[in-house]
């Protein structure tokens, strides 16, 4: 308890520090110079209607590469970590209750729909809210649903890993192409920018987002899949 009260003091002090920060903060009235550049030149430079996407995929595409890498390495660690403990133990009879009829039927209906939705979200990432991450998450949710409906089903890690790797390598390669064909690493202007607002526009952004979506989706699925494994074995 002594520690808690001590920490209360520390936290209060931290709160005061944070408060000075908030106190110094005044809501922006106008865009920052960088954002202004994005707003003014973004449509012409990048060609994505969704400026957030423009920033995420192109202007700060390098961040996104890192972001994808984080999920990737997390999945790798989890896979490695969990497999180490369980790979050797023999498969035990699963004691999970099979899912209810309703859930399994509903899921069979829902899963294709969700997959399509996910793909839609990342394909349209440069036009509407959403993108690779959101789409990937939706795809992963579809697989979660699949696993919930049929706990015994085993995800094919091989294929997932394949998708993960290929899309990752493709992401890097497309980035690399940017060096040769356009202004630099991860430049989207390898392809024509196209008509502003059209599906096939904004250079390689749709393509990149597809790979990102696939990669994020497969990575998240991978994590879930590994966790699902743990539910089966001890």
Partner 1 sequence: MVTPVYLVVSLLGIAFALGILGKPLRKVAGVITLATMAFASYISVSWFMGLWFGEQSAAMVFTAGFRPPFSINLLMGFEEAFFLSLVNLAGLFGTLFLYRTLMKSGVNAFVILLILIMGLNVIIMTRDLFNLFVFMEISSIATAGIIILNPHQKTISAGFKYMLATGIVAGILLLGIIFFYHFTGTLNLDDTIRVNIEAWKGITVALFFILIAVIVELKPFPANGWGLDVYESVPGGIGMLISTASASAMLYVVYKLLPIAPPVFFQILTTIGIGTFFFSNLLALKQTHPNRLLGYSSVGQIGLITGVIGLSHFLGNQFGLIAASLLISHYLAKAGLFWISGILNKTHIREWSVIRQNRLLLFLFSLFVFLLLGFPPFPAFYGKWELIMQLAGSGQFFWLGAILVASLLEGVYLFRWLGYAMKLEAPAGEPLRVGWNQYIPLGIFGLATFVTGYYATHLSSYGSLINLIPLAFALGFFLIDFLPVYIKNTLAIAGMGFYFYYLYPDLNGFDMVFSAIFLVGGILTLLAGYAYKGKRIGFYPTALMMFAGLIGLVEAKTTLEFFFAWEVMTAGSYFLIIRGKKSMEHALSYMLFSLGGAYLILAGFSLASIGQSTIVLDILATAPLYAPLIFILLAIGFMTKTASIGLHIWLPGAHAEAETDVSPMVSSILLKAGVFGLIILIIRMGEQHLGSLSILYILSWIGAITAVLGNLMAAFQEDAKRLLAYSSIGVLGYILFGLALFSHLGWLAAIAIAVTHFLFKALLFLAIGGVVWRLKTKEMYRMGGLITRMPFTFISVLIGIIVLAGIPPLSGFAGKWIFTNAVIEKEWFFQGALISFAGIIAFLYCFRLIHTIFLGQLKDEHRKVNEAPFWILAPQYIILIIVMVFSVLPNSLLHPIGEMLKPYFPDGALTWQGQYATSIFGYWNGTWVMYVVVAIFLLVFLWLWFMNRKAYRVKQFNIVFAAERPFRPETTHFAYNFFAPYKKAIGFLAEPGVTRFWGHVSEGSHAIAELIRRIYSGNGQVYLFQIMAFIVVVYLISFGGF
Partner 2 sequence: MIYLIISIVLGIIILIMAFIALYHRNLKVAILSAGVVSLFASILYLLLDAPDVALTEAAIGSGLTTIIFFYVLNKIQRNDAEK
Partner 3 sequence: MHWFSLEYIAMNLGFLLILIGLWGIITRKNILRIIISFSLFDTGTHIVIVAIGYIRNRTAPILDTLALQKDTASKIVDPLPQALVLTAIVIGLGVTALLLVYAMKLFETKKTLDIHRFNDLKW
Phi and psi at residue 150, in whole multiples of 5°?
-135, 85
Instruction: State the minimum distance, in angstroms, from the CB of residue 130 to partner 2.
Output: 5
Report residue 45 as tokens: 């430079």
Question: Of 149 and 204, which has the nearer Cβ to partner 1?
Answer: 204
Site string for partner 2, 120-139 (x = CB under 8 A): -x-------xxx-xx--xx-
Query: Does residue 171 contact residue 212 with C-beta atoms inside 8 Å?
Result: yes
Question: Distance between CA atoms of 183 and 178, rounded to whole angstroms?
Answer: 6
Phi and psi at residue 182, in whole multiples of 5°?
-140, -150
171 binds, among partner 1, partner 3, partner 2, none (CB under 5 to 8 A by kind): partner 1
Question: Of 86 and 185, which has the nearer Cβ to partner 2?
Answer: 86
Which residue is associated with the tokens 């520090």? 17
Query: Does residue 194 contact residue 47 with C-beta atoms inside 8 Å?
Result: yes
104 Cβ contact list (under 8 Å, min separation 6): 149, 150
Question: Of 148 and 172, which has the nearer Cβ to partner 1?
Answer: 172
Report residue 95 as tokens: 């004691």
21 binds partner 1 (CB under 8 A): yes
The sign of the CA dihedral 111, 112, 118, 121 is negative
Question: Of 152 and 181, which has the nearer Cβ to partner 1?
Answer: 181
Binding to partner 2, residues 21-80 (CB under 8 A): 50, 52-53
Taking CA 61 as the corner, what is the angle to CA 55 and CA 65, rounded to the nearest 5 degrees? 140
- Which one of residues 1, 2, 28, 109 is an interface residue with partner 1 (CB under 8 A)? 28
Question: Distance between CA atoms of 212 and 5, rounded to whole angstroms?
Answer: 46
Binding residues for partner 3, rule: CB under 8 A, are 4, 7, 11, 14-15, 18-19, 22, 25, 27-32, 34-36, 38-40, 42-43, 49-52, 54-56, 59-60, 63-64, 66-67, 70-71, 73-74, 77-78, 81-82, 85, 127-129, 131, 133, 196-197, 216, 220, 223, 227, 230
Question: Distance between CA atoms of 205 and 191, rounded to whole angstroms?
Answer: 9
Residues that bind partner 1 (CB under 8 A): 3, 6-7, 10-11, 13-14, 16-18, 20-21, 23-25, 28, 32-34, 37-38, 45, 58-63, 65-67, 69-70, 72-74, 76-77, 79-81, 83-85, 161-162, 164-166, 168-169, 171-173, 175-176, 178-179, 182-189
């Amino acid at each position: 308890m002594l520690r808690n009260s001590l920490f209360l003091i520390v936290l209060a002090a931290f709160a005061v520090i944070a408060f000075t920060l908030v106190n110094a903060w005044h809501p922006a009235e106008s865009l920052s110079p960088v954002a202004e550049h994005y707003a003014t030149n973004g449509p012409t430079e990048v060609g994505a209607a969704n400026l957030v996407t423009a920033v995420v995929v192109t202007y700060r595409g390098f961040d996104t590469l890192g972001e994808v890498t984080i999920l990737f390495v997390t999945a790798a660690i989890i896979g490695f970590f969990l497999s180490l403990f369980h790979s050797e133990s023999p498969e035990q009879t699963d004691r999970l209750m099979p899912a209810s009829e309703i859930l399994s039927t509903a899921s069979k209906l829902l899963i294709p729909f969700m997959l399509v939705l996910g793909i839609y979200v990342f394909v349209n990432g440069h036009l509407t809210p959403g993108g690779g991450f959101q789409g990937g998450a939706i795809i992963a949710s579809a697989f979660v649903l699949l696993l919930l409906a049929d706990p015994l089903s085993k995800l094919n890690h091989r294929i997932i890993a394949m998708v993960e790797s290929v899309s990752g390598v493709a992401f890097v390669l497309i980035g690399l192409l940017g060096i040769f064909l356009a202004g630099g690493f991860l430049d989207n202007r390898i392809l024509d920018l196209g008509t502003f607002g059209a599906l096939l526009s904004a250079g390689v952004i749709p393509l990149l987002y597809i790979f990102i979506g696939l990669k994020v989706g497969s990575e998240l699925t991978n994590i879930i899949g590994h966790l699902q494994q743990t539910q089966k074995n001890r």
